[in-house]
Amino acid sequence: MAVALAPGLIHHPGYLDGDAQAALAGQLAAALRLAPPYTPRMPRTGRPFSVRMTNCGPLGWVSDEAGYRYQPTHPETGEPWPAIPGIARAAWDALARCAAPPEACLVNLYAPTARMGLHQDRDEAALDAPVLSLSLGAAALFRYGGLRRGDPTRSVRLDPGDALVIGGPSRLMHHGIDRVLPAGTDLLAARAPRPAFLPAGGRCNLTLRRVTAIPAPAAA
């Protein structure tokens, strides 16, 4: 059952059952062999992120001393990104309610101690398209606020198999991951086996995004 956390912010608990999670993990493992995870760096300072990343799709989001941007190739191998996993693409078609396909699937890999500070997803031209998040592995505490960084925040637990749509009035909200929750918190983490590419207690998050502006419908 979908839960509206805020206007345009829709939580779909357990959207992917155990079999679907395992199948998505298998598709993602194949993609990671073509686009190995790497550690991005903060603009200007070069400080490493606490999460490792890679991408799938025609475009991939990268960060280094030169800034945030989308590009068609892996920053370390120079190779094109692999295709978006089919199960993730099917989730976009079912949940995003967007007239255009996603162009990027950012894959964040969290070690048990990793986190991500409050930020906005605003590097895309298509801000009228939502962001779709899919969770695998360990559960995490997701924090979300408003359009201003100092707005009040709330948090919600994201379990493996959960989907989250960030769109409409919430498209530019500040959000982040407070922490990855320890294994054994409850039985929900046992709904699917841990993906082999994750360390014990680790979490994987996929965010599907439309990057370029959505073309206007052709005139009749």
**Predicted pLDDT of residue 217:** 79
Mean pLDDT of the chain: 94
CA-to-CA distance for 97 and 81, rounded, in angstroms?
Answer: 25
Across the range 3-22, mean pLDDT stands at 97
pLDDT at 184 over 80: no
**Predicted pLDDT of residue 62:** 98
In the chain, alpha helices (H): 18-34, 86-95
3-state secondary structure of 153: coil
Where residue 191 falls among pLDDT bands split at 50, 70, 90? low
Q: How big is the chain, counted in residues?
A: 220
Burial of 145 (0-12, 13-18, 19+ CB in 10 A): buried
Across the range 158-186, mean pLDDT stands at 92
The 10s digit of each residue's pLDDT in 199-214 is: 899 999 999 999 999 9
pLDDT at 186 over 60: no
- Residue 212 contacts by C-beta under 8 Å, 6 or more apart in sequence? 103, 124, 125, 126
- Residue 14 region by backbone torsions, left for phi larger than 0, else alpha for psi between -120 and 50, else beta: left
Task: Give the pair of three-digit tokens for residue 9.
Answer: 């912010």
**DSSP type of residue 189:** G
Task: Give the pair of three-digit tokens for residue 171.
Answer: 């498209």
CA-to-CA distance for 172 and 211, rounded, in angstroms?
Answer: 14
pLDDT at 183 over 90: no
3-state secondary structure of 19: helix
**Predicted pLDDT of residue 114:** 96
CA-to-CA distance for 41 and 38, rounded, in angstroms?
Answer: 10
The 10s digit of each residue's pLDDT in 38-59 is: 999 999 999 999 999 999 999 9
- Residue 77's identity, in one-letter code, is T
**Predicted pLDDT of residue 188:** 47
CA-to-CA distance for 124 and 110, rounded, in angstroms?
Answer: 23
Across the range 150-177, mean pLDDT stands at 97
0.85 exceeded by the pTM? yes
The 10s digit of each residue's pLDDT in 73-111 is: 999 999 999 999 999 999 999 999 999 999 999 999 999
pLDDT at 189 over 90: no
3-state secondary structure of 31: helix
**Predicted pLDDT of residue 192:** 72
CA-to-CA distance for 3 and 5, rounded, in angstroms?
Answer: 6
CA-to-CA distance for 148 and 158, rounded, in angstroms?
Answer: 23
CA-to-CA distance for 173 and 194, rounded, in angstroms?
Answer: 30
The 10s digit of each residue's pLDDT in 160-171 is: 999 999 999 999
In the chain, the domains with their CATH numbers are 3-125+137-209 (2.60.120.590)
